[in-house]
């Protein structure tokens, strides 16, 4: 046994020598080079690597070795130029993943060019004619070889194919394959032309179309090899350097090196800018790949290298987009490659007899034909677009017995909150698993969702988002809906309205001017607000067009467009403007030059009138509901129409199952008398024309454009992890301390403010409704209580004195403000005793923390999420993150009516299942805040927002956009 193993190892060591290992090494090096080459500076990286190869060759043989061989030198320089042009074609496509699909054509292109050369009348006209088969081509292309190349090319194309390829990219891809193939063939010819031993070694392809076995090769002519490498490398380096100067941008602070595997989610480098260690690794990998490229052509010819290049791309595709389909076709490709290599290598230890080889070819051809038929049929019968995972089935409910009341629960064997949590988490996992993994998928999903091309520099945004490790790469519907009405206005009108708004000093707007890829001017607002906004755009401002931006200083939103006008604009945008832009098949991936109506940004044009009217400390319900559709409850002419609780409430206690509908003020006219903003806002400057105002939060009926809050950027409400305590050490209670912000109170108006109503109701001395498992608390016949859980619980409503659960509620005001003197005194007496001023860090001692709206958003939410406690959120104001931070996944949503407040607290701290769910949700919210509510996430969102907005205000917006990979 031992002797047999020794003989086998000895045979392998003798058989698998350097020439046989070279294809595997070239495959690995090509894959690593593709993964580590910084795509933003691809040409520059290639130039540097080939310059290093040139320098190495010059050290070996000198600068002018073999200079007298002018024919070889011309072939080398031509080959190098063509190879560089192939790289230029790939870079010109602005394809973040490279033209991988075009690499599937490379082996076939090499093969066809070689056969065309072999078919020339004179055998002496080309060095590619195999010495064993001189003369013109006499036989037809054998069917077996044709089938193998069809399977090989088709298999690679399936793995590397893109769902959407622009016509420009198609043309560039074909050109790239042709130029690269020609370069490989010329370089192979240069090696054979200058063989000092006097015997060239022919191409892998014989005149009859089969694969030629290579004779033994003498490698005594090292100088010829190195001089050929030197000249080729010089041509590639020079051409790449020149083209990189014109095609690549160097406007950032330094070169940015971000590898492909970062963008595919394999890892993230800690440094966003130039990373010397990574650059060195990329350089070494690139040089190794280039040296192996030259050596592969010398030893195995152009076709051998042509098989390796697509193989490297397929390897990366398998890692980035693994699927059984990709794996299967990668296997077919590998089988074809093995057949070609097996025919051309005499020392393969696994060489097949000719009869078995023929059967294997036939089997590969049949499997390929069946596989292609399956792919074509599945594509034809499958709906277009990038398929998304199917979400969870909805909770079983039934219509209410009384109109407009909450939905009824059909399943009483599970607690409603347990069902809401499971359904929300399943849905969130579906969303996570369906996120785009590549630029190509992101573009396809963008078109599917919005019916238009992505904006210019979408590829730069995608690269930026991936480098920052953003998880939810597709969830930006908030931006789309905010900007959609602006498509109905001409870009010049939008710009004029911004200038007018900024030019009136008392509009309370921060003015930011972007010119020439820089923030040239910022006025008004607090210093920390200005620094936050500039900080959010600093790393991508070079990709923005010239624009003026108006940021709202107030917490309260500013723009409400009447419903009839708003619906007309949305209809026009959807039916005319957006389709017209999408009809452009090859949009320009660049913004237009600065329009004439924008100055150089050093000053603001002064205006003496304004569209904004002031309604501070006055009722604003009538103004705020103007954009509500006429068939919604808020638009009713009745004084007290009913809220549509069916749209968002569930069960007898009214748990919030649809937070979007809950925060839609058009569904709840009772807000007129239960929410401080509508009773008397602290500040309210309102316009009824569509003006692009960027606000930190807004109500559903407002048309402000949301952006990440500077308050969160500067962490004005801090979280001190050192003062936090572990979950088991926290008190079983809901904690809240705060002031009476939310509106200005005079003449008893505080009785209609939401914070005061919440504190009054939750600390009242009446009964509270809770859910009780009737089977668990049922009494036996002898009167004893089993108090034992049943396999099938039955959750039913019961009432208990609210004071019995008082120990679970640590709720109190610590400050009375925003009120006339008489109202401040009345509130001080009503809510007495007030709690002492609390340190924010004291909140971490409680398991449940309440976040409730103030004048607008409260500003504590991120700190609460980062803690080890579970967050309850009572809020109508919408923020930029609403698509990302999910109710019942990262926090517990509460309604304004209060039927579920006490039960939510009781279940999460008093029930076994509830306690477990509370801890899980707290950990999930904490993890999400740490990974997706970082400063870099603000930057990514702002980047996406501002390129979308930049397109809307571009005079040529119908003809610009990202054409896609």
**212-268 pLDDT per residue, tens:** 444 433 334 666 777 778 777 778 878 878 887 777 654 443 344 344 333 333 333
**Predicted local confidence at residue 118, as pLDDT:** 53
pLDDT (average), residues 451-457: 95
Q: Contacts by 423-428 with C-beta closer than 8 Å and gap 24+?
A: 423/392, 423/394, 423/395, 423/888, 424/886, 424/887, 424/888, 424/889, 425/888, 425/889, 426/391, 426/392, 427/391, 427/392, 428/886, 428/889
State how far the Cα of 918 lies from the Cα of 872, in Å rounded to an integer: 11
Question: What average pLDDT does the structure give for the chain?
Answer: 80
CA 528 to chain centre: 29
- Laid out side by side, the sheet with 809-815 consists of 809-815, 731-739, 846-852, 870-874, 892-893
**895-954 pLDDT per residue, tens:** 999 999 999 999 999 888 899 999 999 999 999 999 999 999 999 999 999 999 999 999
**Predicted local confidence at residue 266, as pLDDT:** 36
Q: Which residue has the higher pLDDT, 638 or 372?
A: 638
The percentage of residues in the chain with a pLDDT greater than 90, rounded to a whole number, is: 50
**Predicted local confidence at residue 219, as pLDDT:** 36
Residues 6+ apart with CB under 8 A from 684: 556, 614, 615, 616, 618, 620
In this prediction, residue 143 has a pLDDT band, given cuts at 50, 70 and 90, of: very low
**Predicted local confidence at residue 777, as pLDDT:** 61
**Predicted local confidence at residue 229, as pLDDT:** 80
State how far the Cα of 851 lies from the Cα of 863, in Å rounded to an integer: 10
**Predicted local confidence at residue 94, as pLDDT:** 53
| Nearest of 598, 590, 566 to residue 486 by alpha carbon | 566
**Predicted local confidence at residue 956, as pLDDT:** 94
Q: The tokens 């599917």 sit on which residue?
A: 448
**502-542 pLDDT per residue, tens:** 999 899 999 999 999 999 999 999 999 999 999 999 999 99
**612-662 pLDDT per residue, tens:** 999 888 999 999 999 999 999 999 888 888 999 999 999 999 999 999 999
**Predicted local confidence at residue 315, as pLDDT:** 79
State how far the Cα of 546 lies from the Cα of 548, in Å rounded to an integer: 7
Peptide bond into 920 cis (omega under 30): no
SS3 content of the chain, % helix, strand, coil (to 5): 50, 10, 40
Q: Which residue has the higher pLDDT, 220 or 797?
A: 797
Residue 84 tokens read as 């560089």
pLDDT (average), residues 771-778: 77
pLDDT (average), residues 744-768: 94
State how far the Cα of 78 lies from the Cα of 695, in Å rounded to an integer: 58
Backbone torsions φ then ψ of 871, nearest 5 degrees: -100, 130
pLDDT (average), residues 84-95: 71
Domain boundaries, the chain: 39-117+144-194+220-248+255-347+355-381
The percentage of residues in the chain with a pLDDT greater than 70, rounded to a whole number, is: 79
- pTM, whole model, 2 decimals? 0.65
State how far the Cα of 293 lies from the Cα of 287, in Å rounded to an integer: 10
State how far the Cα of 948 lies from the Cα of 683, in Å rounded to an integer: 30
Q: Which of 97-101, 347-351, 433-437, 686-690 has the highest mean pLDDT?
A: 686-690
**468-513 pLDDT per residue, tens:** 999 999 999 999 999 999 999 999 999 999 999 999 989 999 999 9
**Predicted local confidence at residue 399, as pLDDT:** 87
Q: Which residue has the higher pLDDT, 390 or 963?
A: 963
Asked if residue 619 lies in contact with residue 697, where contact means CB atoms within 8 angstroms, the answer is no
- b/e code 272-294 from CB counts within 10 Å (16+ = b): beebeebbeebbebbbbbbbbbb
| Nearest of 547, 500, 548, 552 to residue 525 by alpha carbon | 552
């Amino acid at each position: 046994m031992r002797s047999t193993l020794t003989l086998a190892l000895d045979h392998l060591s003798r058989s698998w020598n350097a020439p046989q290992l070279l294809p595997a090494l070239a495959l690995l090096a090509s894959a690593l080079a593709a993964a580590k080459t910084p795509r933003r500076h691809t040409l520059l990286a290639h130039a540097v690597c080939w310059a290093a190869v040139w320098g190495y060759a010059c050290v070996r043989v000198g600068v002018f070795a073999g200079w007298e061989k002018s024919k070889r030198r011309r072939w080398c320089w031509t080959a190098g130029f063509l190879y560089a042009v192939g790289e230029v074609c790939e870079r010109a496509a602005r394809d973040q993943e490279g033209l991988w699909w075009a690499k599937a054509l490379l082996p076939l292109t090499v093969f066809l060019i070689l056969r065309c050369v072999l078919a020339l009348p004179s055998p002496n006209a080309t060095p590619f004619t195999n010495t064993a088969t001189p003369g013109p081509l006499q036989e037809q292309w054998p069917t077996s070889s044709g089938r193998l190349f069809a399977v090989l090319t088709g298999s690679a194309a399936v793995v590397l194919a893109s769902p959407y390829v622009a016509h420009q990219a198609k043309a560039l891809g074909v050109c790239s394959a042709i130029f690269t193939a020609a370069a490989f063939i010329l370089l192979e010819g240069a090696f054979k032309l200058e063989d000092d031993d006097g015997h060239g070694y022919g191409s892998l392809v014989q005149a009859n179309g089969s694969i030629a076995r290579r004779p033994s090769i003498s490698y005594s002519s090292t100088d010829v090899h190195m001089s050929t490498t030197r000249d080729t490398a010089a041509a590639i380096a020079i051409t790449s350097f020149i083209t990189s100067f014109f095609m690549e941008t160097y406007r950032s602070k330094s070169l940015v090196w971000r590898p492909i595997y970062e963008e595919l989610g394999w890892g993230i480098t800690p440094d966003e800018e130039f990373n010397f260690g990574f650059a060195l690794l990329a350089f070494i990998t690139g040089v190794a790949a280039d040296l192996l490229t030259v050596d592969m052509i010398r030893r195995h010819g152009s076709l051998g290298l042509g098989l390796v290049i697509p193989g490297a791309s397929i390897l990366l595709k398998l890692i980035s987009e693994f699927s059984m389909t990709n794996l299967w076709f990668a296997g077919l490709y590998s089988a074809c490659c093995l057949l070609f290599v097996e025919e051309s290598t005499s020392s393969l230890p696994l060489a097949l007899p000719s009869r078995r080889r023929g059967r294997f070819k036939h089997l590969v051809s049949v499997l390929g034909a069946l596989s292609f038929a399956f792919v074509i049929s599945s594509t034809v019968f499958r709906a277009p677009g990038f398929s998304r995972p199917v979400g969870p089935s909805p909770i079983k409910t039934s219509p209410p017995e009384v109109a407009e009341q909450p939905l009824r629960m059909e399943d009483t064997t599970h607690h409603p909150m347990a069902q809401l949590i499971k359904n929300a988490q399943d849905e969130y996992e579906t969303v996570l698993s369906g996120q785009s993994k590549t630029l190509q998928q992101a573009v396809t999903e963008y078109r599917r969702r919005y019916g238009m091309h992505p904006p210019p520099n979408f590829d730069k945004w995608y690269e930026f988002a991936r480098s920052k490790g953003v998880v939810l790469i597709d969830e930006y519907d908030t931006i789309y809906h905010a900007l959609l009405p602006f498509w109905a206005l001409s870009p010049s009108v939008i710009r004029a309205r911004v200038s007018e708004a900024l030019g009136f000093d008392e509009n309370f707007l921060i003015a930011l001017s972007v010119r020439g890829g820089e923030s040239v001017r910022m006025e008004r607002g607090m210093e920390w607000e200005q620094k936050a906004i500039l900080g959010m755009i600093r790393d991508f401002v070079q990709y923005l067009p010239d624009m003026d931006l108006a940021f709202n200083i107030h917490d309260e939103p500013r723009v409400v467009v009447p419903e009839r006008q708003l619906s007309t604009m949305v209809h026009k945008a959807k039916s005319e403007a957006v389709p017209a832009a999408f009809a452009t098949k090859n949009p320009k991936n660049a913004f237009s030059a600065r329009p004439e109506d924008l100055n150089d940004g050093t000053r603001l044009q002064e205006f003496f009138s304004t569209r904004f009217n002031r309604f501070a400390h006055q009722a604003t319900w009538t103004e705020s509901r103007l954009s509500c559709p006429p068939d919604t409850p808020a638009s009713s002419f009745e004084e007290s129409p009913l809220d549509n609780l069916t749209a968002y409430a569930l069960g007898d206690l009214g748990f919030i199952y649809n937070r979007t509908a809950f925060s839609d003020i058009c569904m709840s006219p009772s807000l007129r008398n239960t929410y401080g903003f509508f009773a008397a806002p602290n500040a309210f400057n309102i316009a009824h024309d569509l003006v692009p105002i960027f606000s930190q939060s807004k109500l559903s009926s407002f048309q402000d454009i949301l952006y990440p809050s500077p308050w969160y950027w500067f962490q004005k409400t801090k979280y001190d992890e050192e003062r936090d305590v572990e979950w088991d050490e926290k008190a079983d209670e809901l904690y809240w301390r705060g002031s009476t912000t939310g509106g200005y109170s005079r003449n008893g108006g505080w009785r209609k403010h939401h914070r005061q109503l919440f504190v009054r109701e939750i600390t009242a001395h009446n009964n509270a409704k809770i859910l009780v498992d009737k089977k668990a608390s049922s009494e036996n016949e002898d009167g004893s209580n089993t108090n034992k859980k049943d396999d099938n619980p039955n959750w039913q409503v019961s009432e208990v004195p609210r004071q019995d659960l008082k120990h679970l509620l640590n709720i109190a005001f610590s400050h009375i403000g925003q009120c006339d003197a008489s109202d401040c005194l009345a509130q001080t007496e009503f809510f007495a005793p007030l709690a002492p001023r609390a340190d924010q860090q004291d909140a971490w001692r409680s398991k449940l923390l309440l976040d409730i709206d103030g004048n607008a958003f409260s500003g504590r939410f991120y700190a609460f999420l980062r803690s080890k406690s579970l967050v309850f959120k009572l809020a109508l104001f919408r923020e930029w993150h609403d698509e990302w931070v999910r109710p019942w996944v990262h926090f517990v949503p509460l309604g304004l009516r209060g039927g579920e407040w006490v039960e939510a607290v009781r279940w999460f701290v008093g029930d076994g299942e509830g306690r477990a769910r509370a801890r899980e949700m707290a950990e999930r919210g904490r993890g999400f805040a740490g990974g997706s509510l970082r400063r870099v996430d603000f930057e990514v969102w702002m980047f996406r927002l501002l390129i979308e907005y930049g397109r809307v205000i571009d005079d040529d917006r119908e003809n610009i956009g990202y054409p896609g990979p």
